[in-house]
Amino acid sequence: MSLAFLALALVCVVTASAAMISRNLIHSALLLVLTWIGLAGLYLWAGADFVGFSQAIVYVGGVSMVVLFAVLLTRRQRDEPLVLIPEAGVGRVVAGLAATFWVAALLVPAMVVAPLVQRAGPGPTLTVKRIGELLAGPHLVAVLVVGVILTVSLIGALYLAAPVTAEDQPEWDNGGTGRDRGNQEEPS
Amino acid sequence: MTGDYGALGRALLPEGVLVATALVVILCDLVWGRGRGRESRVQASVLLGLLGLVAACVILWQEGVLGEVGSGALNLDFLAVAVRVGVVVLSGFSLLTLVGGNTRSQPAEYVALLLFATVGFLQMAAAQTLLLAFLGLELASLSLYVLAGYDRTRPESAEAALKYYLQGGVSAAVLLFGFSLLYGLTGSIGFREISLVLVSNPPGALGAVAVGMVLVAFGYKVAVAPFHLWAPDVYQGAPTSSAALIASASKLAGVALFWRLLWSGLGPTSGGVNLSSSGPGGWVLVVAVMAAASLLLGNLVALAQRNLRRLLAYSAIGHAGGLALGLLAAGEVGPGPLFYYAATYGLATVGIFGCIALTERETSCATLEDLAGLWRRSPLVAACLAVFVLSLAGIPPLAGFFGKFVVFAAALRIDGLGHPAGWVALLAIVMSMVSLYYYLIVLKQAWLVVPPTPPRRMAVPLVASLALVAAAAGLVVLGVFPSILLGLF
Amino acid sequence: MSPLHLCLLLSTVLFCIGLAAVLVRTSAILVLLGVELMLNAANLNFIAFWRYGPGGDDTGVIFVLFSIAVAAAEAAVGLALVIALHRHRRTIALKAANQLRG
Amino acid sequence: MTLSASLLWLIPATPLAASVFGLFAPRTARTLPIAGALLGLVAALGLSVAALAGALVDPAVRATSDFAWFTFGAQTLRLGWLLDPLAGFMCVLVTLIGLLVALFSTAYLRHDPRIGRFFGFLSLFVAAMLGLLVTNSLLLLFICWELVGLASYLLIGFWYERPAAAAAAKKAFITTRIGDLGFLIGLVWLHQATGSALFHDGGAGALDAPTLARLSSTLLPGGWAVSTAIGLLLFVGAAGKSGQFPLHVWLPDAMEGPTPVSALIHAATMVAAGVFLMARVFPLMAADQGLATVPFHALTGVAVIGAVTALLGAVLAVAQNDIKRVLAYSTVSQLGYMMLAIGVGSWVAAVFHLITHAFFKALLFLGAGSVIDATHHEQDLRRLGGLAGRMRVTFATFALGTGALMGLPFVFSGFWSKEAILHAAEGWTVSHLPFAAGLVGVVLTAFYMTRLVLEVFFGKARGEGAAHAEESPGLMRGPLVVLAVAAVGLGWLGLPNWPWLQTRLQGGDWPVHGLGEGFGLMVVSTALVLLGIGAGWWWYGRVKRTDARALDPLARSWPAVHAALAGRLWLDELYAATVGRAFAMLARVAAFFDRWVWGGAVEAAGRTAETVGQVNRAVDEDGLNAGFDNTSEHLRGSGRRYAKAQTGDAQSYLRVVAIGLAVVGVLLLWGGVR
């Protein structure tokens, strides 16, 4: 058991917890970037170099940027003192933590007692060339599907995030929010 | 390895056609549609999309059963082909609801996303590794999130999409975690290899957690209680044709995927179909509980609904219980009854959404009261609606009755009442009686109630009416001659 | 406790932290980040099992590569949806999205 | 000319074609659907007669013709047609009465703008009933059974503008669905136990002797035979359709439909289906008779319910003021007699009575329709009167029908069929209570029918409608005369010493008992009829009613009894208080569990008190005076309570997912994923 692992694990847990507790959205996002870096470090430590670099590039370089964009775009006013998250009510916090507790109570013992076979000695190595062969061979279908997924997310995200234009208005207005009706209880 | 590429190319041809069509639709709209009226752009996009779907359907039919391709990643067995044809047909009907419906902006992107979602369904129908199952699920889900939130003018649409997304995202994360555990337990991601390892090595507590996580995702995808909560909100808030797609094709593909995953992958953990030897246990028991909860909850809550779409959603939750029951029974009698139930259910649902889409062109179609006098506005739509609703209610000789019959009979055939599935089947029979009450309320509104203001006749586009009649006729024909579908298996 | 068990424990802890964020935080963006954390935890499992597990093949690593891509796509769509919500309700508090009910 | 079994499907197919034609014909064409329906019925009648002729060539032989409906894997589901004298007689009965009712309706509904649709539904109704009769498969029988229910729903609710009609249609549909539930469960069970959906299949069918031996020898926990349980479940279905206690509540309300529909429902189609089903599956019902160890025989249950219904219907008919309601309760009572006959083992007597009853009850209903039509829709006995002179044909035929229903001796058909039933009941070894109930019912029947005739046709007209009534047109009188002839003459087909009908139905010898053997019983029953007539005359004949508002003579004598009877013994209210309450409690208990799982422990704690409060309130508030619809309202209320769990808050949904994951995981661990 290496010290490096413990250190990285500590970084991940601490930053992730802090990110999830912080009341400032920007702080949370930045702390989470640290978590991602920590995870990338763990991958490197385990010998999965390529995955580690991918994690760093995609998350630290990509996802975090998208998050920051979203944070900035959803500020109410330009001069708003950075996005403070409203307090969750006590009930919500307690109910949410209770639910999490039950899941943890299920998962943690199962993980700890699992009788797993472990490989002795040094871990496997995986070269980039081998990854390339795998992607072009047995996992070719998956590569194609991921391509489509990325296309979908590109089209979808651009469409959804774009501002509403005049073209969006329906030609026939049938009372817009009409679908809200019928939720109310009938008088009984 | 290179020899495999040819077979793979053939197997993926339908997907390729759909992706190409999607891109062509967008391009065409950019080039040809510039400056044209919205109606013609919608028609052009739908027409192109439909062409793509028809082509895909023909190719699927022509190719038939190809067996395993892509190094065992996909298994194009008989069920896969049947489900693939089924989802393409249901996607086609969902697309057609766009013609009659209250048209929205940027139809080309909408059609393209619908086609991408169909590609996802096609993957789900054939996936035989955890990786492709996950990717197919995600492709379909991501497209559906966007489709659900496609109406940018209505806050309900955004809200529905966000709720759908959040529960979907959590379910996907849970599923991925479960998959990682399965990989760890068996050292493999192929369903068959997993099954082989699980037979010889009991998976223990970690396996229970992994199976539970898979069941969470199953519950989400098919809207089985208690993972159904997104459904009413999404049915209500999403654009009509998106809701139709979510309710029909997505469900059929989900059922097929989880049938394969649970039986041919996790079969050894099912606790056995024939429990008489070992006593109840495994996921069969849990799915039975979920099915019972769904049946009770969906049908009872549907009784209280005044909103048509929410009523449909809760009835869908009830039917999801039936699908879960069919999933159990599939271990004994094969996936035939399950497929029949899911396909005919999807057809009836997509038909009802078609009727809603046509109705809300001119007036709002939200509450049950909005249906009042439908038979005066359009006898054709009202008649088709009656067929769809009665099929859902399980009135013979429509396909819905037969779907229920084969599933219940199959569930009882496992071991009569000696098996939990038998009891759930009994409950399902009782609940199908309860469901009749609210289905009749829908029909009463459409057929008997006279609206306060004299209704105008509504204009029904020819294509839309043809589609409705085709769906209704399909339900009648499949109900009278069920061997058309069942005989295949 | 063996390294594999420690890795699993770490991933479980991360999974639960993510879940807690999803269930407790009011900001839709933070909820999305919680989901991302849960996905990351699953990825960590794959790597751990690849490194220490019984299997001989490399599919675990490949799986992680794909899931990273998918997670990124999911994040993009999710954040776009949050922006869409914000457009209507002028807030990203999840509580604002409760018009559909019953 | 005879009709082979393979062509039996033509019999239901002709009215079905007519109904499709009638429903899709343009609304302006009024005569086309009528002509189509009449033509279809005439053709079906001809085919039925041919089929019957074929069946009578050798009554002991059952002709079946089966076909594979679909094949699924190694399994093939076969359906088929079955021709025996039972099916033949019933087909002729249904088509003949259907035809007469249709003829009557052409005149009765001459002013209705939707007469085309009416005839479409009517044809569908008859077609479904015919399909039910000629099938060789319980599954196909069930499908037709459901179609009969659907068509009756459409016909009872034909005048949907009237809220009472809509409510009655709903009530009929829902009540019979409760029965259908039993039927469906029994059907699925039978299918699962025998692996065959066919009745007769060369030894492998569900009603063939080897299968029955297997079913009756398989025992359930508690010593019950499987055949007993399945038989009782099927009887629940038959009880729903045939208006047996306690599922009879829909039948009187079904009067809201047009009167010809009532005639059809009460005579030949809907209610006959239940009796027919029992006759058809009689071998199954009787399979446990030979077993001494079985704690309960299926037929015993049938006999008891039949006796209760026979008595109850007659009692309730006494104090009704609506002419159609009196007749409706009388139908309930007569159906009770039929079930009683089946219960005591004489299904042949039941079918005999079914046939005679079909004719005279159709006659009585059409006669009532004639009165109602002539008096401009006056149905209240108290506002009628003195019609004997003005409507001679109607009166004469109605009187003949009354004689048949009472069972006036020797001349009328009802006498002979009722005698057959009472004779069978007398010989039942298990108990004599059903026999006694049958005898009491005879008195009551004579009493209420005497009252009906005296109030409607004698005395002086007490309302506007009755004062200016004129005889109905020829198209209405014609069917009445035909039915009257049958009501008198049909009984001669099944005399005790010349049981032609019985031997044909049985397919073998029927024990002939000469007039001498049954003579004592006949004397007793004749005396009872005379007693009933005398009592009726005592109360309603001596002093004629002169004012519509005058108190009922019976109410003057015994006010408490009359009030109880007029309130239909508060059975509807009892249902609301028991069934409705039970559903509500169930729903609340379910809602409680639901919340507990959904909201997690924290939310549940706060809401337990609330749930307890709700249960409390329900017990307090829901008094005994709620109506039938409360049952469904309770169900909806529980749904509404569930729906509140859907708070709209996305995070509460996600919490449910998390809790659900934990619960599923625990369930899996507990169940033991091996």
Identify whether residues B122 and B80 lie together within a single domain: yes
Rounded Cα–Cα distance for residues C11 and C44 (Å)? 6
**pLDDT score of A34:** 92
Which residue out of B301, B408, B432, B484 would a mutagenesis test of the D interface target, given it has the greatest number of D Cβ atoms within 10 Å?
B301
Q: Quick check: A100 contacting D, CB < 8 Å?
A: yes
Identify whether residues A1 and A65 lie together within a single domain: yes
**pLDDT score of A83:** 55
Residue pair D66/D30 in contact by the 8 Å Cβ criterion: no
Distances (CA, A) of B309 to B399, C98, C101, D411: 22, 17, 12, 63
Most confident of A71-75, B169-173, B418-422, D329-333: B169-173
Nearest to B170 among C22, C46, C70 (CB): C22
Contact D661 A103 (CB under 8 A): yes
**pLDDT score of B48:** 93
Does the domain at residues C3-98 carry the CATH identifier 1.10.287.3510? yes
Residue pair D274/D241 in contact by the 8 Å Cβ criterion: yes
Name the helix (H) or strand (E) containing D79.
strand D75-83
CA B394 to chain centre: 18
Helix (H, G, I), strand (E, B) or coil at D72: strand
Identify whether residues B29 and B102 lie together within a single domain: yes
Domain boundary among B269, B288, B311: B269
| D272-313 pLDDT tens trace | 888 999 998 888 888 887 777 777 888 888 999 999 888 888
Has residue A14 been placed in a domain?
yes
Identify whether residues B251 and B292 lie together within a single domain: no
What residues in A contact D601, CB-CB < 8 Å? 98
Number of domains within chain A: 2
Contact D600 A98 (CB under 8 A): yes
Residue type, A45: W
Identify whether residues A10 and A69 lie together within a single domain: yes
Identify whether residues B264 and B289 lie together within a single domain: no
Residue pair B84/B126 in contact by the 8 Å Cβ criterion: yes
Mean pLDDT is lowest, of D206-215, D234-243, D400-409, D553-562, for: D553-562
Number of domains within chain B: 2
**pLDDT score of B72:** 82
Has residue A59 been placed in a domain?
yes
Nearest to C78 among B169, B187, B188 (CB): B169
pLDDT at A27 over 60: yes
Q: pLDDT grade, residue B302 (50/70/90)?
A: confident
- The larger pLDDT score, comparing residue B471 to residue D563, is at B471
CATH number at residue A26: 1.20.120.1200
Mean pLDDT is lowest, of B126-130, B301-305, B341-345, for: B301-305
φ and ψ at residue B67, rounded to 5 degrees: 75, -155
Nearest to C19 among D644, D647, D658 (CB): D658
Burial state string for B5-18 with b = 16 or more CB within 10 A and e = fewer than 16: eeebeebbbbbebb
Contact D602 A100 (CB under 8 A): no
Share of chain D above pLDDT 70, in %: 79
- The larger pLDDT score, comparing residue D198 to residue B488, is at D198
Q: Summarize the confidence of residues B184-196 as an average pLDDT.
A: 89
Q: Summarize the confidence of residues D635-649 as an average pLDDT.
A: 67
The C-alpha of C1 sits at a distance from chain B's nearest C-alpha, in angstroms, of: 17
What residues in B contact A109, CB-CB < 8 Å? 205
pLDDT at A175 over 60: no
pLDDT at D183 over 60: yes
Contact C70 A146 (CB under 8 A): yes
The C-alpha of B38 sits at a distance from chain C's nearest C-alpha, in angstroms, of: 23
Mean pLDDT is lowest, of A14-28, B228-242, B426-440, for: B426-440
The C-alpha of C22 sits at a distance from chain D's nearest C-alpha, in angstroms, of: 8
**Cβ-based neighbour number of residue D14 at 10 Å:** 23
Rounded Cα–Cα distance for residues D662 and D658 (Å)? 6
Q: Which domain holds residue B149?
A: 1-269
The pLDDT mean for chain B works out to 87
The C-alpha of A154 sits at a distance from chain B's nearest C-alpha, in angstroms, of: 11
pLDDT at D9 over 90: no
Q: pLDDT grade, residue D72 (50/70/90)?
A: low
Mean pLDDT is lowest, of B1-15, D409-423, D633-647, for: D633-647
Q: Summarize the confidence of residues D216-233 as an average pLDDT.
A: 81
- The larger pLDDT score, comparing residue D587 to residue C55, is at C55
State the pairing for strand pair B74-76/D63-72. Answer: unpaired
Identify whether residues B122 and B244 lie together within a single domain: yes
Contact C98 D655 (CB under 8 A): no
Q: pLDDT grade, residue A142 (50/70/90)?
A: very high
Q: Summarize the confidence of residues D509-528 as an average pLDDT.
A: 74
Identify whether residues A73 and A6 lie together within a single domain: yes
pLDDT at D195 over 50: yes
Mean pLDDT is lowest, of B452-456, D141-145, D313-317, for: B452-456
The ipTM, to two decimals, is: 0.91
- The larger pLDDT score, comparing residue D418 to residue B348, is at B348
Distances (CA, A) of A148 to B72, B112, B135, B175: 21, 11, 10, 21
What residues in B contact D177, CB-CB < 8 Å? 433, 436
| D259-278 pLDDT tens trace | 888 888 877 778 888 899 99
The C-alpha of A154 sits at a distance from chain D's nearest C-alpha, in angstroms, of: 25
Q: Summarize the confidence of residues B12-19 as an average pLDDT.
A: 94
**pLDDT score of D566:** 65
Q: pLDDT grade, residue B247 (50/70/90)?
A: very high
Has residue A102 been placed in a domain?
no
Q: Summarize the confidence of residues C59-78 as an average pLDDT.
A: 93
CA A167 to chain centre: 33
Identify whether residues B393 and B279 lie together within a single domain: yes
Domain boundary among B211, B239, B269: B269
Shortest CA distance to D183 belongs to which of D222, D257, D132, D217? D132
Identify whether residues A6 and A63 lie together within a single domain: yes
The strand pairing partners of D72, in sequence order, are D75
Identify whether residues B252 and B202 lie together within a single domain: yes
Helix (H, G, I), strand (E, B) or coil at D75: strand
pLDDT at D674 over 80: no
Question: Which residue matches tokens 């009578």?
Answer: D56
Identify whether residues B172 and B290 lie together within a single domain: no
Has residue A69 been placed in a domain?
yes
**pLDDT score of A126:** 81
Share of chain B above pLDDT 90, in %: 48
Peptide bond into B397 cis (omega under 30): yes
Identify the chains in contact with D, defined as 3+ C-beta pairs within 8 A.
A, B, C
Q: pLDDT grade, residue D11 (50/70/90)?
A: confident
Residue type, D553: P
The pLDDT mean for chain D works out to 77
Name the helix (H) or strand (E) containing D67.
strand D63-72
| C19-60 pLDDT tens trace | 999 998 888 888 999 999 999 999 999 999 988 877 667 888
Mean pLDDT is lowest, of D99-113, D117-131, D232-246, D606-620, for: D606-620
Burial state string for A150-179 with b = 16 or more CB within 10 A and e = fewer than 16: bbbbebbbebbbeeeeeebebeeebeeebb
For chains B and D, CB pairs below 8 A equal 183
The C-alpha of B207 sits at a distance from chain A's nearest C-alpha, in angstroms, of: 9
Q: pLDDT grade, residue A61 (50/70/90)?
A: confident
**Cβ-based neighbour number of residue A3 at 10 Å:** 7
Chain B CA closest to residue A117? B185
Q: Which domain holds residue A157?
A: 127-167
Q: Summarize the confidence of residues B267-293 as an average pLDDT.
A: 72
**Residue D68 carries which DSSP code?**
E
